[in-house]
Amino acid sequence: MLALLPKIKGPQHHNLYTDPESTLVASLVARDTKALEMLYSSYSASLLGIVCKVVKQEEVAQDVLQESFLKIWNSIGQYDATKGRLFTWMSRLVRNTAIDHLRSRGEINSLKNDELSELTVEINERYQIIFHPEFIGLKQLIEVLTPEQKLILDMVYFQGYTQLEVATALNIPVGTIKTRIRMSIKTLRAFFI
């Protein structure tokens, strides 16, 4: 059974059956640059994914990743295998580096604004809220109309009812609805001349 396990050369330069992670960590502590290259090729893609969740710009994320690997290299002696896996330790370090980068550049507030605008779009799409700049001030303008005219215009132009639906809902003939709309428009037109 043991013959199936890979033989890994440890730092003492003799064959050992050992955990590849602990061997990698020992090599990094011994300042073996080949181990750093191996660490980078094994973990850089996953760690970049963590950085990109915090830092949205790809080029900046690449810089933060490089800075993170430098920190990993310089602080590998602080890693304690009894407290967690190497990847977990590196993930925390990378995430904190990305957050520190945002704080140092004052980008936290712009990140909050990005999230808010994304949330606004999501709410608008979910609840079908549509901004109609052509209606700005129109609701205040219709205050000059009779209550019946206001109700009909509100239902047709602001709530999206058809004239037939309004006639059915108010139990009024469609011709009366059309007449009241025409009279309302004539009254409102006087404000634009």
CATH number for the domain harbouring residue 58: 1.10.1740.10
Instruction: Give the model's confidence band at 123: pLDDT under 50 very low, under 70 low, under 90 confident, else very high.
Output: very low
Higher pLDDT, 183 or 6: 183
179 in a structural domain: yes
Percent share of the chain, pLDDT over 90: 23
Instruction: Give the model's confidence band at 7: pLDDT under 50 very low, under 70 low, under 90 confident, else very high.
Output: very low
Of the candidates 44, 29, 10, the residue with the CA atom closest to the CA atom of residue 79: 29
Of the candidates 87, 83, 106, 105, the residue with the CA atom closest to the CA atom of residue 95: 87
What is the span of the domain harbouring residue 13? Answer: 2-110
Where does a domain end: 76, 110, 144? 110
User: pTM here?
Assistant: 0.47
Where does a domain end: 79, 110, 141? 110
180 in a structural domain: yes
Residue 162 and residue 67 share a domain: no
Residue 6 and residue 100 share a domain: yes
Residue 165 and residue 106 share a domain: no
- State the number of CA atoms in the 13 A half-sphere of 125 facing the CB: 6
Check pLDDT > 80 for residue 70: yes
Of the candidates 59, 81, 63, 83, the residue with the CA atom closest to the CA atom of residue 71: 63
pLDDT tens figures, 160-193: 788 898 898 889 999 999 998 888 888 877 766 5
Please count the structural domains in the chain.
Answer: 2
CA dihedral 147, 149, 155, 161 (to 10 degrees): 150
Residue 24 and residue 91 share a domain: yes
Check pLDDT > 50 for residue 90: yes
- Mean pLDDT calculated for residue range 59-82: 92
Identify the CATH number of the domain in which residue 166 sits.
Answer: 1.10.10.10
Residue 60 CA: distances (Å) to CA of 52, 67, 150, 191: 9, 11, 55, 55
Q: In the chain, helix, strand, coil percent, each to 5?
A: 75, 0, 25
Residue 187 CA: distances (Å) to CA of 64, 145, 149, 158: 63, 8, 10, 18
